[in-house]
Structure formats: C-alpha cells, structure tokens
Amino acid sequence: MSDKMIQLPLPFEEPMNTFDAVMIAEGVQQVESEEQYLEAWQMLINTGMAYQLQGWFRRTANALIEEGHCTAPTTNTQPYSC
C-alpha cells in the first residue's frame, strides 16, 4: 500500500466561506453571475455576519431582503442537545 494520498475532486460545489462572501459583497472579488453575488449576501445574512460588520453591510442586507432578492435570517428554534 502506498503512503501517498490521492485527492479526488468533489462531485459537488464547495460552500462559500465567509471571507469570499465579504470580498464579493464589497466588490473586491469578481463574481460569475448575479446569482453568485446574491448567494454571498444570503450567506452573510444567514450567518449573521451582515449584522456584525460595519453598518453598510446591515443596510445593504436589509435592502436586499426588502426588495425580495434575499430572505430574512431564520432563527434556530430547536433546543440544544448533547
């Protein structure tokens, strides 16, 4: 048996990380489509990052929600379990 590891490509797209989402939202990182731009904003909204960063993120996130481009963050109503 070989001691070398083989990395196979995943059959699905990797989820967007917070850094990329912020860079896309700020316009630093180019997007391939408007869908990817809105995906970045939805990720920031869902994780709460849009509400922890500077005010521009909160205002833009709220505007995107009001215009129907993104959905409001959902709260977890499930109790924690060990």
Is 11 among the domain residues?
no
Q: How many CA atoms lie within 13 A of 29 on its CB side?
A: 15
Is 73 among the domain residues?
no
Which range marks the domain in which residue 23 is found? 18-66
> What is the number of structural domains in the chain?
1
Work out whether the CA dihedral 49, 19, 56, 46 comes out positive or negative: negative
- Whole-number Å distance between alpha carbons of 28 and 39: 16
CA angle 72, 28, 32 (to 5 degrees): 70
State the pTM of this model.
0.74
| pLDDT tens by residue, 24-59 | 999 999 999 999 999 999 999 999 999 999 999 999
Is 42 among the domain residues?
yes
Is 80 among the domain residues?
no
Yes or no: say if 19 and 47 are a contact pair by the CB < 8 Å rule. no
